[in-house]
Amino acid sequence: MTAAAAARLILRNLLEVMASREPPQDKLDRVVRIVAENLDSEVCSLYLLRDGMLELFATRGLNQSAVHVTRMAVGEGLTGTIAESGETLNLAQARAHVNFQYRPETGEDKFHSFAGVPVIHRERTVGVLCVQHVDPRRYEDVEIEALQTTAMVLSELIASAGFVDGEEAAGAERHAAPEVLGGLVLVKGLASGQVVFHQPRVTIHQLVAEDVEAERQRVYRAFARMREQIEQMTSQVEFGTGGEHDEVLETYKMFAYDEGWSRRINEAIDSGLTAEAAIERVQQRTRMRMREIDDPLLADRMHDLEDLSNRLLRIVSGQLGTAATQGLRQDTILVARNLGPAELLEYDRRRLKGVVLEEGSLTAHVVIVARAMSIPVIGRLGGMRGRVADGDEILLDGNKGTVTLRPSPAMREAFEVKNAAYRERQASYALLRDVEPFTRDGTRIEVMMNAGLRDDISNLALTGADGIGLFRTEFQFLVSATLPQRERQTRLYRDVLDAAGDKPVVFRTVDIGGDKAVPYLRSDALRDEENPALGWRALRLALERDGLLKVQARALLDAAAGRTLNVMFPMVSEPWEFDAARAVFEEQLAHIRARRRRLPEAVRYGVMLEVPALAEVLDQLLPRIAFISVGTNDLTQFLFAADRANPKLAERYDWLSPAILRFLARVVGSMRGYPVDLTVCGEMGGRRLEALALLGLGITRLSITPAAIGPVKELVRKVNLTELQPQMQRWLADPPKDMRTALGAWALAHDIEAE
């Protein structure tokens, strides 16, 4: 009989045992007998964890008097070693192993060979299943395979019969103990709640196959579907739905077509498992291998395989939704490898309290959206998903960049104290709502806010911002399943203008592409892009798809009837692009005029300065525009040639680097004498030390995330520009070794808190 056939027989018999009404002990006695007989083994024993100790629960071949008598600690003897490491042992000579221990009461001295596998339930070892022979022989791979498959099915039997509970599992201690992990602060703030996986774990209802051929067909179909999905994602890298990175997609592709992987799943099906159980079984093995890998690059790739395996599992089981669609917990802390902005927007923001990402970078759009939603985010916590379980309590300190898993009461208490202080500080910022931000020497700084969602509008009144310096119109496109109709666009823009009253609002025309996914706007032109961030995006796309820009122009002009419209074009690289975009608006204006409909009182045109080339030709453009807004997010990515969404580069370049500051100083200089407003609207301006540097460069208008308005206003009121600006000039001429340290020290000396 082949090993697969043996395993199938074992599983079929186990199924019978599971279904029978025998007392639990009798069931286990039958289990070891079935395994021993079918694997032709002289001994088969099952050890289970009880009160933290491994106890012999059933045996066929060892002395029956040892049952419930022989006990050993996790880590002790061969069985303890397997429980501790979660790995299989296959030994021709058991006594040759360093951890071998002899237990006389079992009568095992005559057996030489030994093979044991962990019994794992919900990623925790709950016991050990082993076989022994008199002959010193190494077990064949197929035998080990059969043993492992048996252990997997057995784990369900053991758990459902209540022999062990989750808390008793080996390694549970590691998982239950508090743990503090450090990551990168992406959005500030504090939050506590329970872990929810963005991609929920698939529940496997049936482990043993009734029809092996049918299961094989299910896996074939799932593989085909998964490959289709990967192909689709690769062909739309520009608009990748999960924020996946090229490299990850490449690896997905490699694994999706990897014959070894599909073969192993097929073998597991051969041994009698259902498609779901077979995928899970192979994944378990991968996880074990992952633990042994020291190379971070390889470990990353193994995570990719794990992701893909989960995808396959979701497809085959039909459990497709993300946590957003499955009834969210009250205080959810979302845990994901990465997210796309549209995916985050699907969540109920009243229940979503925080986000932890294994990847993530400061200026990725998902992070900008989270910032707009005032949801703290910590990123760069590699391997996070393996360290927590769904429902684990978690504290997220988005000021220090730490997460505390399963906190002790003392930790919880300390966190509450910190949270209270944080809230107090936030409340003190709220007091500044109606205070106009003047510097100590009397310069009025305009502190405006960035927005993009309808819900953001209320922040205008809450923060006392001077207006909306950047309204990202593409957010409406991101949250829609289809291209938003003109009427819907008009309604949103009108509501924003109504809420703003006398305060100015700067609408930026759609900026899609890069990491902003709009699945309904596909094009062949996007298929072959190697560098989407440098590709056909923002205004470049809008000018060619001018139907899209026309509709938006009309919607904006209609919404601003009788008022001033400030409209700004993203990613302008050369002045003609501005002219072309403006012409689209002028054409719509003429159209409205011809129909004798109400026009805006004035239309002010401006550009985003985010492509460095534009800075070199500003003199050409300045006479034609009313304002410029510097988008430091893209500007930094282009100045440093560093993908803003690439987590590996997240901490590499500092906004306070002399290169950026000198660049901005030059822009400020070239605008002197022109009646053109200059604003900085990238994420940089919302950080206190960075805002201080911008004031030092002579910038007096910032548009920032709502949560930063209070902190920046408070900072403005402490600054004396006549002291700061000459110092900044000196630093620009002769940069200190570390600008951040120098500026921080200067701030401290002037009684200004850096954070």
Listed in sequence order, the DSSP H helices in 39-102 are: 77-85
| Size of site (CB under 5 A) for Mg ion | 3
Return all residues near 413 (Cβ < 8 A) that are at least 6 apart: none
- Distance, CA of 746 to CA of 750 (rounded, Å): 6
632: contact with ligand PEP by CB under 6 A: yes
Minimal distance, residue 452 CB to Mg ion, in Å: 12
634: contact with ligand PEP by CB under 6 A: yes
Q: Are 115 and 158 in contact (CB under 8 A)?
A: no
Residue with Cβ nearer ligand PEP (74 or 367) = 367
Q: Restricting to residues 560-599, which ones interact with ligand PEP according to CB under 6 A? A: none
Classify 299 as helix, strand or coil: helix
Residue with Cβ nearer ligand PEP (304 or 610) = 610
Residue with Cβ nearer ligand PEP (237 or 681) = 681
Minimal distance, residue 610 CB to Mg ion, in Å: 5
Tokens of 50: 């009880």
Residue with Cβ nearer ligand PEP (388 or 694) = 694
| Size of site (CB under 6 A) for ligand PEP | 11
Return all residues near 549 (Cβ < 8 A) that are at least 6 apart: 509, 510, 542, 543, 581, 584
Burial pattern 605-641, b for ≥16 Cβ within 10 A else e, equals bbbbbbbeebbeebeebbeebbbbbbbbbbbbbbbbe
- Distance, CA of 701 to CA of 446 (rounded, Å): 5
Q: Which residue has the tokens 């429980």?
A: 83
Minimal distance, residue 421 CB to ligand PEP, in Å: 31
Classify 74 as helix, strand or coil: coil
Minimal distance, residue 521 CB to Mg ion, in Å: 18
* DSSP letter for each residue of 637-665: HHHTT--TT-GGGTTTS-TTSHHHHHHHH
Answer for which of 368, 432, 581, 693 binds ligand PEP (CB under 6 A) is 368
106 binds, among Mg ion, ligand PEP, none (CB under 5 to 8 A by kind): none
218: contact with ligand PEP by CB under 6 A: no
Classify 430 as helix, strand or coil: helix
Residue with Cβ nearer ligand PEP (394 or 568) = 568
* DSSP letter for each residue of 234-260: HHTGGG-TT---HHHHHHHHHHHT-HH
Burial pattern 10-27, b for ≥16 Cβ within 10 A else e, equals bbebbbebbeeeeeeeeb
- Distance, CA of 65 to CA of 44 (rounded, Å): 15
Residue with Cβ nearer ligand PEP (314 or 472) = 472
Minimal distance, residue 472 CB to ligand PEP, in Å: 5
Answer for which of 314, 472, 687, 713 binds ligand PEP (CB under 6 A) is 472
Minimal distance, residue 682 CB to ligand PEP, in Å: 3
Residue with Cβ nearer Mg ion (192 or 629) = 629
Cα torsion 103, 108, 112, 118 to 10°: value is -70
Classify 243 as helix, strand or coil: coil
Residue with Cβ nearer ligand PEP (449 or 681) = 681
- Distance, CA of 247 to CA of 330 (rounded, Å): 35
Q: Which residue has the tokens 């997905």?
A: 252
Q: Are 632 and 684 in contact (CB under 8 A)?
A: yes
The mark string for 19-58 relative to Mg ion (x by CB under 5 A, - otherwise) is ----------------------------------------
Only one of the segments 207-215, 434-442, 630-638, 686-694 lies at the binding site for ligand PEP (rule: CB under 6 A); that segment is 630-638
631: contact with ligand PEP by CB under 6 A: yes
Return all residues near 658 (Cβ < 8 A) that are at least 6 apart: 731, 732, 735, 739
682: contact with ligand PEP by CB under 6 A: yes
- Give residue number: closest CB to ligand PEP: 631
Only one of the segments 12-20, 247-255, 404-412, 608-616 lies at the binding site for Mg ion (rule: CB under 5 A); that segment is 608-616
Nearest to 549 by CA among 474, 634, 456: 474
Only one of the segments 127-135, 186-194, 552-560, 632-640 lies at the binding site for ligand PEP (rule: CB under 6 A); that segment is 632-640
681 binds, among Mg ion, ligand PEP, none (CB under 5 to 8 A by kind): ligand PEP
For residue 125, which phi and psi values (nearest 5 degrees)?
-75, 125
Only one of the segments 231-239, 262-270, 353-361, 625-633 lies at the binding site for ligand PEP (rule: CB under 6 A); that segment is 625-633
Q: Which residue has the tokens 């590699």?
A: 382
Amino acid letter at 367?
Answer: V
Classify 570 as helix, strand or coil: coil
Q: Are 233 and 432 in contact (CB under 8 A)?
A: no
Residue with Cβ nearer ligand PEP (572 or 625) = 572
The mark string for 54-93 relative to ligand PEP (x by CB under 6 A, - otherwise) is ----------------------------------------
Tokens of 16: 């019978």
Listed in sequence order, the DSSP H helices in 394-521 are: 409-430, 458-463, 474-479, 486-500
**What single DSSP character describes residue 195?**
E
Answer for which of 306, 358, 446, 610 binds ligand PEP (CB under 6 A) is 610
Minimal distance, residue 368 CB to ligand PEP, in Å: 6
489 binds, among Mg ion, ligand PEP, none (CB under 5 to 8 A by kind): none
243: contact with ligand PEP by CB under 6 A: no
Query: Taking the alpha carbons of 507, 512, 515, 516 in that order, is the dihedral positive or negative?
Result: positive
Minimal distance, residue 240 CB to ligand PEP, in Å: 16
Residue with Cβ nearer ligand PEP (351 or 454) = 454
Query: Taking the alpha carbons of 617, 620, 624, 627 in that order, is the dihedral positive or negative?
Result: positive
490: contact with ligand PEP by CB under 6 A: no
Minimal distance, residue 713 CB to ligand PEP, in Å: 20
Tokens of 668: 């400020």
Minimal distance, residue 537 CB to Mg ion, in Å: 9
Q: Restricting to residues 622-681, which ones interact with Mg ion according to CB under 5 A? A: 631, 634
The mark string for 556-595 relative to Mg ion (x by CB under 5 A, - otherwise) is ----------------------------------------
267 binds, among Mg ion, ligand PEP, none (CB under 5 to 8 A by kind): none
Residue with Cβ nearer ligand PEP (251 or 633) = 633
Which residues of this protein are in contact with Mg ion, per CB under 5 A? 610, 631, 634
Which residues of this protein are in contact with ligand PEP, per CB under 6 A? 368, 470, 472, 511, 610, 631-634, 681-682
